[in-house]
Each structure stands twice: as C-alpha cells, then as structure tokens.
C-alpha cells in the first residue's frame, strides 16, 4: 500500500511562510491570491501490508513523528501502489 499524507497548519495558527509566499505572489502581479497556507505532502510506501495495517502505521507515523499536533493537523489516504 501507499499512504498520501497532508499536513497543514491548524486554523488560527500563524503561518509566516504562507504569509510571505502570498505577499511574493501579489508582488509578482498575481493580485487575486488573497491567502496562502503552506503544509507538507508526504508519500510513504508500505509494501506487503493490508489496508488496515497501513492505516494503523500511517496514523502512528503522523502522531509520533510527522505532524506537530500542537500546531498542525493531518489527514491521509491509503491507495494501492500503481
């Protein structure tokens, strides 16, 4: 199985990198961009696991290492390798 993991700053948490990128885009002429939030996208390979096992491991990986739960939230999906 393969996990696609999306980690984003929690609502209400200041995201200075996103603010900076948003400003840079507007300075480049893309005035329509009002807000940018920067997060992480992680692809994780878990060959020879069941969907259930892959979900368990991915949750554990997010909780213990990948996400800082004080300021970030995460969601993920498990897909079959192509």
> Distance (Å, rounded) from C-alpha 73 to C-alpha 62?
9
Q: How far is the CB of 30 from a second copy (least distance, A)?
A: 5
> Distance (Å, rounded) from C-alpha 36 to C-alpha 58?
26
Q: How far is the CB of 80 from a second copy (least distance, A)?
A: 15
Is 6 a binding residue for a second copy by CB under 8 A? The answer is: yes
Among 11, 14, 16, 48, binds a second copy (CB under 8 A): 48
Is 19 a binding residue for a second copy by CB under 8 A? The answer is: no
The enclosing H or E element of 52 equals helix 51-61
Is 7 a binding residue for a second copy by CB under 8 A? The answer is: yes
> Distance (Å, rounded) from C-alpha 66 to C-alpha 75?
11
Contact 4, 77 (CB under 8 A): yes
Binding site for a second copy (CB under 8 A): 6-8, 18, 21-22, 24-25, 28, 30, 32-49, 53-54, 57, 60-61, 64-66
């Amino acid at each position: 199985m393969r996990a696609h993991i999306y980690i984003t700053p929690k609502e209400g948490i200041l995201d200075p990198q996103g603010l900076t990128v948003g400003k840079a885009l507007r300075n480049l002429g893309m005035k329509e961009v009002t807000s940018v939030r920067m997060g992480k996208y992680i692809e994780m390979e878990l060959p020879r696991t069941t969907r259930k096992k892959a979900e368990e491991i991915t949750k554990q990986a997010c909780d213990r290492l990948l996400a800082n739960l004080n300021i970030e939230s995460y969601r993920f999906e498990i897909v079959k390798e192509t």
